Structure 1
Amino acid sequence: MKLNHLDLQVPDVQRTAQFFERYFDFEHTSNRASPAIAILSDRAGLVLVLQKLKNPEQAYPDGFHIGFFVDSEDQVMGLHARAKEDGLEVSDVIRNNRGTMVYCQLPGGILAEVNCRPHSG
């Protein structure tokens, strides 16, 4: 069984879609003008559906986040630098036994982790 899509509810569909395109290389596969829904692909089989949040009072629970594994620490550092340059809320670079990572606040209250796992050796 393979996870093939994720549906996230967000207050601003197009702003969030643009974020996923810019920072995580997703491809928009639906009508770009729709304020209600955007369908994106990571080009590796995962479909990301962004839908307009119906109740603006709702929020994701503390600790909820999505995660991206990357191949190198340079990729983590590059995303960190780009996010800081763009004025986004991004954590310091964290290094621990789980790898090298940063956390970035996405539009709509979604937290994303970008992590390069430590090399086994």
Structure 2
Amino acid sequence: MKLNHIDLQVPDVQCTATFFEHFFDFEHTSNRASPAIAILTDREGLVLVLQRLKSPTEKYPEGFHIGFLVDDESTVLGFQERARAEGLEVSDVIRNNRGTMVYCKAPGELLVEVNASPRAR
């Protein structure tokens, strides 16, 4: 069985889609003008569906996040530098037994992890 897609509910569909296109090289495959839904792909088989949040009071639980695994620590550091330079809220670098990682806030307060795991090498 293979994970096919992830569907996230976000307050601003197009703003969040632009974030994933810009920082993670996703490709928009749906009607770019729709305020209600965006369908993106990572070109490796994963589809990211973004749908407009139905109630503005709904929030993801504390600690909920999505993660991107990268090949090496320099990619994590480069992401952190780029994201900070572009005004995103980005954590300090965290190094532990799970790897080297940073967390940032995507539009809509969606937490995103970028991690170079020692097990992935």
Question: Quick check: 1:30 aligned with 2:30?
Answer: yes
Contact 2:7 2:51 in 1 (8 A): yes
5+ residue gaps, structure 1, are none
Question: Pairwise CA RMSD of aligned residues?
Answer: 1.4
- For residues 5-25 of structure 1, the C-alpha deviation after alignment (integer angstroms, 9 at most, x for no partner) is 000000000000000001111
- Rounded to whole Å, the distance in 2 between the matches of 1:119 and 1:28 is 31
State how 1:72-91 maps to structure 2 within 5 Å: 72-91=72-91
- Rounded to whole Å, the distance in 1 between the matches of 2:15 and 2:33 is 11
Aligned partner of 1:34: which letter? S
Instruction: Single out whichever of 111-120 and 29-38 deviates more from structure 2.
Output: 111-120
Superposition deviation, residue 120 in structure 1: 8.6
Q: Which runs of 4+ in 1 moved over 6 A?
A: none
- Rounded to whole Å, the distance in 2 between the matches of 1:11 and 1:111 is 14
Aligned to 2:17: 17
TM-score of the superposition, structure 1-length normalised?
0.96
- Rounded to whole Å, the distance in 1 between the matches of 2:34 and 2:59 is 22
Q: Secondary structure at the match of 1:79?
A: helix
TM-score of the superposition, structure 2-length normalised?
0.96
Decide whether aligned partners of structure 1 residues 58 and 2 sit closer, same or farther in structure 2, where only a CA change above 3 A counts.
Answer: same
Decide whether aligned partners of structure 1 residues 53 and 119 sit closer, same or farther in structure 2, where only a CA change above 3 A counts.
Answer: closer
Which structure: greater helix fraction?
A: 2
Once the two structures are aligned, what percentage of the paired residues are identical? 72
5+ residue gaps, structure 2, are none
